[in-house]
Structures are given as structure tokens and as C-alpha cells.
Amino acid sequence: MDIMQSIVKRGRLKKIKKMIDIKLLLKAINATTKIAKQHNDELWDLCPNPKHKDSSPSWSINVNPESDTFGVHSCFACGYKGNFVTLTRDKLTHSTGKEITNKEALDFIIKLFTLDEIDEDTIYGLILDEREQLLQDDKAEELGPKESSLPEDFKLLKPVHKLYWNYLTRDVSDGGRGVNPDLIDKYGIGFCNAGLYDKRIIIPFWQEGLLISFLARSILPTISSKKKNGIEFKICPECEKLNNIKSVECIKCDHLLSGYVLKKERSRYPKGSTMEYMLWSYDDLDNNLDYVILVEGASDKLRLESLGYKNVMCVFGNKISDYHVKLLQKFEQKIGKKLRVFLFPDADEGGDILITFANQKLKYEFNTFVVELPWVPNKWLDPGSASKRQIRIAFNTCQKLYKVYARKFENLNDI
């Protein structure tokens, strides 16, 4: 759950009321007129409901930060009511013409006040308190990661297994993953040549002595799919014709489709995997270094480590959990100094999501930087497929998290 949303949901809004100026917020979202007048705790004005053509002030909102109903509004004529978050959501939706969520409305409010007006030390303690409360309340977090087991058909990968070995060790420019062969032995990487994980590289994930999970990544080329009228079709990579999902050959150009795997099925984790508890490879961190590098996927981690980068871990996707934060705090205590976190996301929408999570969960905890890959037209880059030069440029131009956050979401500034 978003920390700031949790603060509001828990009724701990009292602690941040002094950070919010309702009148300034109303002005920012164009929710008041020149005839607005305040009577005691209530500001009265024409109803901001776009469906209500109000001719005399029939709507009020509580603007007293000491009141239990601070930010609550209602119209006695049309019945329109809510709080300052839902009001912001409705006004932004109406003014932009696109559906704004409560989370986006709250982000807008936080950006309007927290980032620009409020001393960060004030909100720092609140966020830490709330995160600690969330960790205590969430029973799933208390359970921690579950131990897993490798597939029955698993075999350790050796140079004699050329099909799989070449897939990993070939250079990225030659269609491989650019993995240093030493890392194959270091992490016990293997493969399956039969069963559920046939034609897949198997990467085991150990943490604090437990095999938490594994990644089964297909070595077959991927094929895109598309849903039409609720039915999924394969898209032929040659002629782009839609084909039945079970098609072996393209109905138009006879291109063989059986040698591909659907993009969404390229990577598999065993059922019940608790990846939100994993930071691979947390056990191998160098305590002499005061930084870590966080990437989205296992291939990104292997690629960076193959190029000589140290203390690289992956979060398995575009979310950062509170358990991840807990592990980072544990490492910071171990090194005895402020931890630097270099966030290295993919250059796509998922990367933007990862930056958002980092802004919510890492910004106030650690010295956090974002490493951004150069933009390449018509191609989403990620650390696992970028060239050595592109990765070096990204590290040389990395910036503090708050600067990247402001740029990534500059569309909110246009609202």
C-alpha cells in the first residue's frame, strides 16, 4: 500500500493537516469562485460538481485543520459530497478529460504541498512510523519468504550444453545475454530439457540460506499476442497476421509459429513464489561498499555483474516492498554508514512504476539515485540488453531521485 494513502486511510491525517492549505488546494484545482466566503470552520461557495449548475452558494468544505471533519465537503442542494482527495480527483478528471484515480489525486496533493512547501524532516518521521506500523499489521510480512525446491528435471549448466550455454554467454550484440561464465557456476545456474520447464534456463534464488524461488526463462524466440473480442491470437512475426493461439503455422504466409513462446510466458516462477521478499543476491553483498544497485530482473543483474559492477540486486519486477526496505536497512546497519541506492530501471512504463515505488519507499530512507538509460527511438532498453557504453553513460549521468521523479511525471504539472 502507498505510505501516504495508508496515512490518510488510517485516520492519521491529523498529523499532516498543517501541511495542507485547503484554500490553496481549491485554487489549484479551480474548485472555488470569487464569491466564496468563510463562516466559522466552513468555506461556502457555488457547488464544484460539474453536473450541478449552482446559482447561489449551497456547497461547503471544512477548512479548519484542527477539526475532525477537515477537508470534508458537501452540497445540501445536489448531495455531492466527499473529502479533499475525492474532490481533487473529480476536478482533475473534469479538467483533463481523462479518468484520474484517488492515488493520482493524492500524488497531486503531495506534490503541491509536501515536495514544494513542507520541510522533509517533518514528514520523514511520519513515514517511518507508518511503515513500521504497516510491517507490524501485515501478517504476511511477518511470515517472510517460503522455501522452494528446484524442478525434477533440473541439471547444472556446463559448457558442453552448448544450446543453453551459448544463449547465456554470447554477447548481447549477437543475440545472447552477455553473462560471464564464472557467474553460471557462482549462482548454480542450470536448465531443464524436459517437463514443465522444457527449453528453459533455470536460475535459483537463494537468500539467507534458503532457496526462495527460481526463474525459468525460455531460450526460444518470443511471439506477440493480441486479444480481439475476448479471444487471444498470435501475431505472426513475418506478416503480422492474427492466428489462432494453437496455430502451428501462419494461415497467411505459412511461417512456422511452433518454435516461439508467447512473450508473457517467456519467464516463469514456480507457483507460490514469494518474490516480494527477495533481493537477489543479498547474501553476496560486499560490506566494504556503501552502495547497492537495484535492477528489475535477473538478466539485468547478471549483465551488470558481468561488466564488473558490484552489489547488484534485482527486485523481480517494478515494485519495491516494505520487506525490501527492511533488508536494505539491515545492510545499512551492517556497513555502519548511510547507504546509497542506485535504482537502474528499464526504459519503459514499468521503469516509471519502479521509480514511483522508490519515491514512496526509498527516498526518505537512503541516498537514492536513478540511473537512466539513453532513449533509443522505437526500442525499450533495459540493463540486460544495453551496450556497455550505454550503461556507462547512464551511470555517468545519474541524478538524485526527486529530480527524476519530477521529470517523469511532468504531465501532473500540466493538470
72: cell is: 470534508
**Tens of pLDDT along 121-175?**
444 444 455 455 555 544 444 456 778 899 999 999 999 999 999 999 998 888 8
Do the domain assignments include residue 325? Answer: yes
| Residue 349, domain extent | 279-413
Residues 114 and 30 in one domain: yes
**Average pLDDT of the residues in 349-356:** 81
Number of domains in the chain: 3
Distance CA 271, CA 13 (A): 39
The residue-averaged pLDDT of 185-193 equals 94
Regarding whether 133 and 7 lie in a shared domain, the answer is yes
Domain boundary among 240, 268, 296: 268
- Give the pLDDT confidence score for residue 377 in this predicted structure: 64
Q: Are residues 315 and 243 in the same domain?
A: no
Same domain, 254 and 304: no
What is the torsion angle, in degrees rounded to the nearest 10, for the CA atoms of residue 209, residue 211, residue 216 and residue 217? -20
Rg (CA), the chain: 26
Residues 250 and 322 occupy one common structural domain: no
Average pLDDT for 357-365: 80
Same domain, 228 and 299: no
Q: Look at residue 274 and tell me if it is in a domain.
A: no
In a domain, 335, yes or no: yes
Q: Is 68 helix (H, G, I), strand (E, B) or coil?
A: coil
The answer to the question of residue 149 being in a domain is: no
Is residue 128 one of the residues assigned to a domain? yes
Tell me: do 224 and 301 sit in the same domain.
Answer: no
* Residue 400 in domain: yes
The pLDDT value recorded for residue 295 is 94
- Out of 247, 268, 289, a domain closes at 268
Residues 129 and 166 occupy one common structural domain: no
Residues 111 and 180 in one domain: no
- The answer to whether position 213 is within a domain reads yes
Degrees to nearest 5, angle at CA 153 with 147 and 312: 50
> Which CATH number characterizes residue 45's domain?
3.90.580.10
Q: Are residues 133 and 101 in the same domain?
A: yes
Residue 402 has a pLDDT of: 61
Instruction: Calculate what percentage of the chain has a pLDDT beyond 70.
Output: 83
205/113 same-domain check: no
Asked if pLDDT for residue 213 goes beyond 80, the answer is: yes
Confidence of residue 404 (pLDDT cuts 50, 70, 90): low
Mean pLDDT, residues 210-214: 90
**DSSP helix/strand/coil, 227:** strand
Q: Domain boundary at 110, 137, 164, which?
A: 137
Residue pair 67/77 in contact by the 8 Å Cβ criterion: no
Residue 144 is assigned to a structural domain of this protein: no
CA distance 233 to 242: 6
pLDDT digits 0-9 by tens, 234-279: 999 899 999 888 888 998 898 998 888 888 888 888 887 878 888 9
Same-domain status, 126 and 222: no
In the chain, count of helices (H) and strands (E)?
Answer: 14, 20
- pLDDT at position 191 is 95
The CATH number linked to 308 is: 3.40.1360.10
Give residue 54's pLDDT band: very low, low, confident or very high (50, 70, 90): confident
The model's pTM is 0.62
